[in-house]
Structure 1
Amino acid sequence: MQSGKRNTKGSVIVNRFRNRLRLQLPRQLFNGKQKYLTLGLNDTPGNRQIAEAKAKEIERDIQANILVPGTFDYTLNKYRPEFFRLVETEKSEYSVSLHEIWEKFIEHKRKNSSPSTMRFQWRTFSSYVRRLPTHDLEKAVEIRDWVLSNIPPESAKRFIVRLSACCNWAIESKIITNNPFLGMSSEITIPKLQKNDDGDINPFSIYERDLIIQAFRSNQFCHKHSRVKHSYYADYVEFLFFTGCRPSEAIALERKHVSDDFRYITFDCAVVLTDKGLAKKSGLKTQEKRRFPVNQKLKPILERVCEGKNNDDILFPSPQGKTYIDTDNFRKRTWKVVLDGLGIEYRKPYQTRHTFITLALENGLDAKDVARLVGNSPEIIYKYYAGNKRDLFVPEF
Structure 2
Amino acid sequence: MAKGKVTVERIKDTIRLRFRVDGKQQAFYPGLGYTSDNLLRAELLKRQIETDIDTGEFDRTLKRYKVDKPKDNKSLLTAFESFTAYKTKRVEQGTLYKYWALINILKNSKLGNKCYLSVTEEDAEKFVLKLLENAEPITVKDKVCILGACYKWLKAPVNPWVEAQNLIKVTPKQPRDAFSKHEVNMIISEFEDWYPHYLPFVKFAFQTGCRSGEQVNLTWGSISTEFKTCWILSTKTNKARRIPLPENLQELLKHIKPSDAKSTDLVFKTFEGHKVNLNNFNNRYWKVVLETCSIEYRPFYCTRHTAATRFLEAGVSPVAVAQILGHDIKVLMKNYANLIDCPELPQMF
Q: Shorter-chain TM-score category?
A: 0.5 to 0.7
Q: Which residue of structure 1 aligns with residue 243 of structure 2?
A: 292
Superposition map of 1:354-365 within 5 A: 354-365=305-316
Q: Which residue of structure 2 aligns with residue 265 of structure 1?
A: 229
Superposition map of 1:111-190 within 5 A: 112-115=86-89, 119-132=96-109, 146-156=130-140, 186=164, 189-190=167-168
Distance 2:78 2:319 in 1: 47
- Superposition deviation, residue 367 in structure 1: 2.0
Cα separation, partners in 2 of 1:145 and 1:238, compared to 1, 3 Å: closer
TM-score of the superposition, structure 1-length normalised? 0.53
Is the partner of 1:268 in helix, strand or coil? strand
Distance 2:238 2:112 in 1: 42
> 2:196 is matched with which residue: 225, 228, 231?
231
For structure 2, the residue ranges without an aligned partner over 5 or more in a row are 1-72, 341-349
Point out the structure with max Rg over C-alpha: 1
Q: Which residue of structure 2 aligns with residue 105 of structure 1?
A: 79
- Superposition deviation, residue 159 in structure 1: 5.8
Q: Which residue of structure 2 aligns with residue 242 of structure 1?
A: 207
Is the partner of 1:298 in helix, strand or coil? helix
Matched, 1:319 2:271: yes
Distance 2:100 2:307 in 1: 34
- Superposition deviation, residue 324 in structure 1: 1.5
Distance 1:168 1:382 in 2: 29
Q: Which residue of structure 2 aligns with residue 302 of structure 1?
A: 253
Matched, 1:254 2:219: yes
Cα separation, partners in 2 of 1:183 and 1:373, compared to 1, 3 Å: closer
Q: Which residue of structure 1 aligns with residue 173 of structure 2?
A: 195
Q: Which residue of structure 2 aligns with residue 213 of structure 1?
A: 188
Is the partner of 1:297 in helix, strand or coil? helix
Matched, 1:388 2:326: no
Quick check: 1:367–1:381 contact (8 Å CA) kept in 2? yes
Q: Which residue of structure 1 aligns with residue 25 of structure 2?
A: none
Quick check: 1:161–1:185 contact (8 Å CA) kept in 2? no
Superposition map of 1:66-85 within 5 A: none
Distance 1:334 1:288 in 2: 31
For structure 1, the residue ranges without an aligned partner over 5 or more in a row are 1-97, 174-178, 220-229, 270-282, 391-397
1:328-362 deviation per Cα after TM superposition (whole angstroms, max 9, x unaligned): 22112210110011011111122212222222222
- Superposition deviation, residue 298 in structure 1: 1.4
- Superposition deviation, residue 212 in structure 1: 0.4
Aligned CA-pair RMSD: 4.0
Distance 2:106 2:181 in 1: 46
Distance 2:266 2:165 in 1: 50
Q: Which residue of structure 2 aligns with residue 348 of structure 1?
A: 299
Percent identity, please.
26
Distance 1:353 1:168 in 2: 30
TM-score of the superposition, structure 2-length normalised? 0.59
Amino acid paired to 2:229: I
Q: Which structure: greater helix fraction?
A: 2
Distance 2:219 2:151 in 1: 45
1:182-238 deviation per Cα after TM superposition (whole angstroms, max 9, x unaligned): 699649733441423xx35x211111101100100101xxxxxxxxxx221011101
Cα separation, partners in 2 of 1:389 and 1:337, compared to 1, 3 Å: farther
Quick check: 1:235–1:301 contact (8 Å CA) kept in 2? yes
Quick check: 2:77–2:112 contact (8 Å CA) kept in 1? no
